[in-house]
Every structure is written in C-alpha cells, then in structure tokens.
Amino acid sequence: MVKKIYLFCPSIYDGGLEKSLAIYANFLTKSFQVNLITNTFNEKRLKTFNKNVNIINFKNKFFIKNKIINNLFCVIKTLKIKEKNLVVFSLHDHFFWCLLKSLKFKFKLIIRTSTAIINGKNKSEEESIKKEFFLKSLITLFYKYTDLVITAAEHNRSFLKNKIKAKNVKIIYNYFPRFKVKKKRKKVLNIFFVGRLVPDKDPIFFLRNCISLSQKIKFNIGIIGKGICYEKIQSISKENKKNNIKIYGYIENGLKKFHRKIDVMCITSKYDGTPNVLGEAVAYKIPCLAPKNVGLSNVILLNGKGGYLYKPNSGSNFKHKLSSILLNYNKAIHKSKLAYDKLERFDYKNTLLKLERSINEIL
C-alpha cells in the first residue's frame, strides 16, 4: 500500500520556499502518494508540480487576506479530510500543527525550518526580527512535539535538540544541481539582485549601495523580482542619472535565463534560511557576495574562501567587498570555482534521498 503524505503550504508566493516545495513534492511522488494542501490563486506556481501531485487548493479569497487565519483555515480543512494515518509535512507556519501535537492529536508531523531560528548564534538575524522575537521564540518551543524537524544549520540542530528538546532533528540541505559553465571577464560587469522585493531581502540596501559605489567604479546594476518594494526601487532608480540600472520585474527561472549575463550575485537578506538564489548562483559559478552569518551564507561560501561575506547592515563593508570583486574579478572567479566544487554537499544523494530516508524512518 502506497503511503500518503500531506505537504502543507497554506500560502504560495514566488520565492525560494515555493521552489523547494515543488522539488520536494515532485520527488516524493516516486515513493508516496503526495497531496498538497494550500489556499492560493497562484496558478503559475501550481503548474510547477507534476501530474502525480494531488493539489487540494481551497481557493478561498476571504481567508487568504490574513496569513494566520488562512493557516488555521487550511489546518481545519485538512483535519476534515479525516485521513486515518495522517502524515503532515509543514513547509511554513507550523504553529497550529505543533499545538495539536502538544494536545495529543494522533498524526505524524514533519516540519522544515525555512527562516532564522532565534538561538543565540545568529545575532544579526535576531536584531532584524526583534519585533517578532517573543512570538518566534514561543513558537519554537512547540517544535519538541514534532516527529521530525528538518533544518539546514548545525547551530539550529544543536539548539533544537539541546534547548528545545526536539527528539528528531536532521540537517538536510536544499538541492542544488551543478551546471557546466565558464565565467569570463567582461569590460563592464553586471551586478545583480534576484529575489522577492520585500524588506527582509533588503533590495533597497542593495540598490542604494550599488548606486553609491558606481560613482567610483563603472558597472551595471540589474534587479529581477517583484514585491512591495518595487515602486520604491523604481523611484530610487529614476533619481540615478548614470542610466546603468535595469529593473526586469518578475521572471520565472530568472537566474537560469540570465546566468550568462550575471557577473556578480548579491544577497542582502536581513535574515534567511537557505537562500536558494545563493546556491543556484554558485551552481552556475557566479561570484557571490552575501551577509556573514545569515542563513547558510557562510556554509555555501566556505566562510569566505568560496565567495565574499560582508558585515550585515553595513553599507560601507558591502561596498568594500563589492569593490574587491570588481577590481580583481579573476580572484572572484577562482573563489566561485571553490564553492562550486563543494556544492556536492547539496547533490541529489545528500538532499532528496536523505529526505526520503528520514521520512520513512518515522512512518
């Protein structure tokens, strides 16, 4: 009998989490009957799932307006399915499922930590989410009721096992297949930001500091993405008189389509889990600049040996590191090759197959 698993993702946007969701869902159909629980009108993203994924989409406009209410709505609708041996794999907004487990509801619960966990090891990230500090800390306490926690950082695993007392925590990285490419120096380099244009990704920090540095060093600036910061970015761009900024808006598989054009990838997240765009950029041997100790930046960029790490929220340090890349691009290419070689840790065997084994162990 084929085992059933319910992937829980009440809100579907156009970020890295949704890419991981589609990769997980499509892969798991090889071993499980996969059901996706969601409430979305993002038909474009739903098309990334293969035909073997059973999509249970409630399409309720009323509940989708509020994230917490939408989450609770999807939990209740899932319970109404009355699955005898319910297995829930929650990709985000885990609280209500964890609460039900604490109340002795009978089902298996797997959660994936997609954003920063407050654990004392990620000070800059904690500073960025201080408004939500108490709530996030409270929610994390309920992780001990899960059957499996999937995280991507050793300090998260240690914190969840030793402090929260979660009984089963596995480090499983995102899947990043490598591509055969060769980067070459151009006369004028293209510096890119790719991702959601939202405050926590801080594209405004990226744009302002790039504009400032471009007064001294010649380069082009590219931005791919959409979000609530889009109009502000357009406004800042129009104020710049050098005409070296191109805003592309949202492009499906933007990095894949633009990897030959992108000479440097900048990640400027205030907090993050695994920045998918960083792993994907390394998979194309693109030199990268990312904030130190944010998400998996240190791991993917080999603590600076495989790329460049700047002090979070420091515009001056960001510009210093970016100028180092621009003025010695051959060295940047060498670093990117080192990161590329170490990306084997994120291959099929060490990510997706490990995920399948970990799920089967609790069933």
In this predicted model, what pLDDT tens digit does every residue of 71-106 receive, in sequence order?
A: 999 999 999 999 989 999 999 889 999 999 999 999
Q: What per-residue confidence (pLDDT) applies to 49?
A: 96
101 shares its domain with 167: yes
Question: Which single residue is written with the structure tokens 């405050």?
Answer: 199
Q: What per-residue confidence (pLDDT) applies to 121?
A: 58
Per the document, the length of the chain is 363
Q: Residue 30: what residue type?
A: K
Residue 275 domain-assigned (yes or no): yes
By mean pLDDT, which of 54-58, 126-130, 300-304 is the weakest? 126-130
Q: At what angle do helices 16-28 and 352-362 cross, to 10 degrees?
A: 70
What is the C-alpha separation between 295 and 173, in angstroms, rounded? Answer: 12
29 shares its domain with 168: yes
Q: What is the CATH number of the domain that holds 127?
A: 3.40.50.2000
57 shares its domain with 157: yes
**pLDDT > 70: what percent of the chain?**
94
Q: Give the C-alpha distances (Å, rounded to integers) separating 90 from 94, 106, 182, 240.
A: 6, 16, 38, 43
What is the C-alpha separation between 330 and 184, in angstroms, rounded? Answer: 8
What is the C-alpha separation between 33 and 165, in angstroms, rounded? Answer: 31
Residue 179 domain-assigned (yes or no): no
Residue 316 domain-assigned (yes or no): yes
Q: What average pLDDT does this structure show over 335-362?
A: 96
Q: Using 50, 70 and 90 to split pLDDT, how confident is the model at 114?
A: confident
Split into its structural domains, the chain has a count of 2
263 shares its domain with 242: yes
Residue 184 domain-assigned (yes or no): no
163 shares its domain with 209: no
Domain that holds residue 300: 190-345
Residue 48 has pLDDT above 90, yes or no: yes
134 shares its domain with 198: no
Six-digit token string for 183: 């980067």
Residue 183 domain-assigned (yes or no): no
